[in-house]
Structure 1
C-alpha cells in the first residue's frame, strides 16, 4: 500500500530527530586494512550514494590490492544499518521491493534447476528470504521439499502466515545455526544475502553448521570483478550502497569454501545475472535530475510546483525507460557469453 501524505508527515518528525545529530553516528572509523586478508594495500573502487531511497550521505567502496576483496569503508555502524534499512524492505518502500522480488521468479527457478542434479532435498533453508519469494517459486518445482525461511525483518513472519515457508526464523544465522538449526537441512541457500553481512566468513561457517553432511550450499552474490561494474560506474545497481558491506570475488569465495570442508560442485557466473542494470542506472540519473519525491527523510514536503515538475518529468521519460528495459534484455543475452554478468552462483557440498 502506498503511504499517504499524513503517514509521511508523521514519519518525518522521527527522521528529523534522528538526523539532528548529523551522519557521523552512522559510520564507524575508516579501516586501514582489508577485512578479508589484513593487507593495507587499499584503493578506492567507487564513491557513490543511496540512489534507491536517496537518503543522505556519500559512501566509499574500497578494493584490496592483495586479495581483491571489495568492501564498504568506512562501514555503517549499528545505528547506520538501522537508519538506512528502515522503510526499505518494509514500510514506505515495501511494495516496490516486493514487486522486484516477485519478478525474480525465472531466476529462482533456474537456481533450483541447477541444484537438482546434485541433491533431492527434503528440507531447505532460505537465508535472507525476506517475503519468501524464493520458496514460493521453488515449491512448484520441488513440491515434496519443506522450505524454511530466515531473515531479520517482519516479512519472514508474514511469509510463514501466508504459507510461503513452512517455518520462519527471525534472527541471525550466526546465532541460530549451532543450536536450533544445527544439521537440519539438505540445502541452505543464500541469494544476495552475503553482501549485506558484516562478516561473510562467519556466515559461511554458520551455513555449514546448519547443513547435514553431504548437504548443499547455494550462493548467489554480486560479482565485483564484473565488467558491468566498470561500465556503469557509481550507478551500477549491485553497489546498492549503503546496504552492501562486502563483495567477495569468486576466487576468494572458492578458497574459503574449500577451507571450510566444502567441495565446490558448480560455478556459474552467467546464469546468475540479475537483469536491470540499464534501467536502474537510467532511473538513478533521472531521479537525480528531477525534484525529489515526498519522502519522510527529507526535511520538508516538496512544493506543488516541484511535484508537478517531477510527475511531468517521469511521464516524459517513460519512452526512454522502455528503451532501457529493452537494452537490459540485450545485456542479459550478452552476459551469458562474457564477463558482463553482474553476479555469480556457487553450489558446494558439505563434507562429513
Structure 2
C-alpha cells in the first residue's frame, strides 16, 4: 500500500475523510476515500501501489478486460456497448472532420479500436493488462503498447481517447503531460470518467459501483477535473453525458447494496439521475473534450 501525501490537482497536503467503500469485485477489503481540504478533489487513499494493483483486476466479472464474462448485467452491458461504440465513432468523426489517427489509452480487448478501424481510422492501442492486451492484439492484428512511455516515438495523434481509464492511472500528472506531447496541435483529448457528484452517487453512497475501489484511484467531478487539465495547458471545450452509465452503474450498485440486482429500482434510479443531470450537468459519467490551450 502507498499513501498519497499531496493533492494531484492543487498540491495541498491536508485531506478529510469522505467515504469508506468495500471492494465488492475481488477482495472485499474496505478502502478510504479522502477529499482535499483545499480543492475538494477525491481520491482513494491509501491505495495499492503499481506493483500490487494488478491483483485487484483478477475477476471474470471485470468486463472491460474480458469478452466472455457472464450474467445478465454483463450481457446488458455488451448489448448497450454495440450501440455506444457506434456513437463514439460518430463523435470522433465530428471532432476531427474525417478519419485520422487515434490512440485509445486503456483499450481493453480492443472493441472501440476495431470499430474505429472499420470506420477508416488508423488505430493505435495502449493496454497494460497482459491478458486484455493479447486479446486486443489478436483482434486487431496489431501491436498493443503496454504503457504511455512506450509511445514516445509515435507520430502525434488527432484523437486520444481514455474511456473510463484516467481514474486508474497512478502517475496522474506525468501521464497527462505525456498525453499532451502525443496529441497534434489541433487534436482532441477525450476523457470519460464517472462523476462522484451525480444523483446516483449521492443515492447509493458507499454502495455506488463507480467508486470501484481500489481500482479507481480518483473520483472526479466537473469542478476538479478542469483545473487538473488547465495546469497542463489544456482547455475544456465541451462535456457530454453518458446516459447509459446511470442504468448500468445502478444495477451493480443495487446488487452491492442488497446482495441481488434490483432491476426496477435500477431503471428508476437511472431515469432520475439522467433527469437531474439535464438540470445540473452532473451525469453519472461524463465525456470531457479538451484541446491544447
Mark yes or no: TM-score above 0.5: yes
The match for 1:314 is none
Out of 93, 111, 114, the position equivalent to 2:88 is 111
The match for 1:121 is 99
Out of 194, 197, 202, the position equivalent to 2:169 is 197
Please give the per-residue CA displacement for 1:260-318, whole angstroms capped at 9, x wherever unaligned.
3334321224658443232112211343xxxxxxxxxxxxxxxxxxxxxxxxxxxxx6x
Please tell me whether residue 170 in structure 1 is matched to residue 145 in structure 2.
yes
Count of paired positions? 284
How far, CA to CA, are the matches of 2:192 and 2:236 in structure 1? Answer: 14
How far, CA to CA, are the matches of 1:272 and 1:205 in structure 2? Answer: 30
Out of 128, 132, 137, the position equivalent to 1:152 is 128
Q: Mean alpha-carbon deviation: is it higher for 328-337 or for 148-157?
A: 328-337
Out of 244, 250, 263, the position equivalent to 1:322 is 263
Q: Measured at CA, do residues 83 and 130 of structure 1 come closer, stay the same or move farther in structure 2, by a change above 3 Å?
A: same
Runs of 5+ unmatched residues, structure 1? 1-26, 288-316
Please give the per-residue CA displacement for 1:165-201, whole angstroms capped at 9, x wherever unaligned.
x63323111x12323x2x3311110010000011222
Please tell me whether residue 133 in structure 1 is matched to residue 133 in structure 2.
no
- TM-score calculated relative to the size of structure 1: 0.71
Equivalences for residues 248-263 of structure 1 within 5 A:
248-263=220-235
How far, CA to CA, are the matches of 1:130 and 1:201 in structure 2? Answer: 22
Equivalences for residues 62-81 of structure 1 within 5 A:
62-81=34-53
How far, CA to CA, are the matches of 1:272 and 1:280 in structure 2? Answer: 13
The match for 1:86 is 58
Runs of 5+ unmatched residues, structure 2? none
Equivalences for residues 1-352 of structure 1 within 5 A:
27-28=1-2, 30-53=3-26, 55-87=27-59, 89=62, 95-96=68-69, 99=75, 100=77, 103-119=80-96, 120-139=98-117, 143-153=119-129, 154-163=131-140, 167-173=142-148, 175-179=149-153, 181=154, 183-269=155-241, 271=243, 273-287=245-259, 321-331=262-272, 333-334=274-275, 336-339=277-280, 340-350=282-292
Is the contact made by 1:123 and 1:147 (CA closer than 8 Å) also made in structure 2? yes
Q: Measured at CA, do residues 333 and 251 of structure 1 come closer, stay the same or move farther in structure 2, by a change above 3 Å?
A: closer
Q: Measured at CA, do residues 31 and 347 of structure 1 come closer, stay the same or move farther in structure 2, by a change above 3 Å?
A: closer
Please give the per-residue CA displacement for 1:195-228, whole angstroms capped at 9, x wherever unaligned.
0011222222111222222111111011122232
Q: Measured at CA, do residues 209 and 69 of structure 1 come closer, stay the same or move farther in structure 2, by a change above 3 Å?
A: same
Superposition CA RMSD, Å? 2.8
